[in-house]
């Protein structure tokens, strides 16, 4: 009698673990494993510690942007200016550092100030100008990874265990109901876009530290697509009200490993962007299927 009970207990624990991970995250883990095995077979050095460090370093900046992009998407918004914001912060930090000679701290403070200003401006334009978010936002290795981890944990706790997080999900899920419940939607949206400006500034500072120079927009292009793709692949519904940081980080790891593998194999950057775009479209299609919504132009 003890055997069946023990087996049943283990089965229950496995079922509980799988349920906790969620179908979306399990799919991402599977895809990540396939990518690692595939490129590991094609290149002997792909799975080496040094290459994993390169992947982690490159994924840090994308990960920071994807985390805050997830928060924006959860509350029903979208910010496609994050790449430009990173470029601006990177150049500002480098310029202040080189022209004043006052040390790195002032350069970082200037970049953070620019990030706050740009993010708050985006939020004000969207809230008070009633402009669509997409249109409005158009106009050291261990240390870097630890920064990503700290930001990820902080945002995860904020979303999962605080009233602020619950209110953000409510705004994205049904803004009318949220307004009737007394949630200050405008205040939350301005705060969220300011947050993305701050984190974009941090990413810009890290980009400067990583490359040793100020990177203009051309040096940070494509980051917005990576951030949005990671958020969508991680389970954040682009219509709002759904998403989580765990799935986003798994998606960031998948994108980082895929990009590195394609680069090692000599695949042109253009086709890498095509692959990312295809992943984004796939994520959106899967979201539509899961939600049960009818595709446009198709019969019931």
| Confidence band, pLDDT 50/70/90 cuts, at residue 37 | very high
CA distances from 38 to 44, 50, 93 (A): 11, 18, 39
Range ranked top by mean pLDDT from 72-81, 210-219, 226-235, 278-287: 226-235
pLDDT higher than 50, residue 141: no
- Kindly state the percentage of the chain with pLDDT values over 70: 63
Contacts of 42 (CB under 8 A, 6+ apart): 261, 264, 265
pLDDT of residue 76: 80
Q: DSSP of 242-299, one letter per residue?
A: ---HHHHHHHHHHHHHHHHHHHHTT--HHHHHHHHHHHHHHHHHHHHHHHTPPPTTS-
What average pLDDT does the structure give for the chain?
Answer: 75
Short-list 249, 229, 238, 231, CA closest to 290: 238
pLDDT of residue 166: 92
Report d(CA 188, CA 71) in Å as an integer.
11
Token pair listed for 50: 């040094």
The more confidently predicted of residues 84 and 64 is 64
pLDDT of residue 259: 87
Question: Lowest-pLDDT range, 92-101, 146-155, 244-253?
Answer: 92-101
């Amino acid at each position: 009698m003890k055997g069946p009970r023990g087996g049943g207990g283990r089965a229950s624990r496995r079922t509980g673990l799988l349920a906790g991970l969620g179908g979306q995250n399990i799919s991402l883990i599977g895809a990540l494993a396939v990518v690692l095995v595939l490129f590991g077979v094609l290149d002997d050095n792909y799975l080496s510690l040094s290459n994993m460090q390169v992947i982690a370093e490159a994924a840090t900046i994308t990960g920071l942007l994807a985390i805050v992009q997830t928060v924006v998407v959860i509350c029903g918004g979208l910010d496609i200016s994050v790449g430009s914001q990173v470029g601006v912060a990177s150049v500002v930090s480098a310029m202040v550092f080189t022209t004043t000679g006052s040390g790195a701290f002032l350069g970082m403070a200037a970049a953070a100030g620019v990030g706050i200003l740009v993010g708050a401006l985006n939020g004000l334009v969207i809230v008070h100008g009633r402009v669509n978010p997409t249109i409005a936002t158009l106009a050291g290795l261990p240390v870097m990874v630890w920064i990503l981890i700290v930001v990820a944990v902080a945002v995860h706790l904020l979303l999962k265990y605080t009233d602020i997080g619950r209110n953000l999900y409510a705004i994205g899920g049904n803004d009318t109901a949220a307004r009737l419940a007394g949630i200050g939607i405008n205040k939350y949206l301005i705060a969220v876009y300011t947050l993305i400006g701050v984190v974009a500034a941090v990413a810009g500072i890290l980009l400067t530290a990583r490359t040793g120079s100020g990177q203009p927009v051309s040096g940070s292009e494509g980051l917005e697509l990576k951030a949005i793709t990671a958020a969508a692949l991680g389970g954040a519904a682009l219509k709002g009200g759904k998403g989580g940081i765990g799935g986003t980080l798994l998606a960031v790891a998948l994108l980082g490993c895929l990009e590195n593998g394609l680069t090692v194999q000599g695949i042109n950057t253009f086709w890498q962007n095509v692959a990312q775009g295809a992943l984004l479209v796939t994520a959106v299609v899967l979201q539509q299927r899961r939600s049960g919504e009818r595709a446009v132009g198709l019969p019931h």
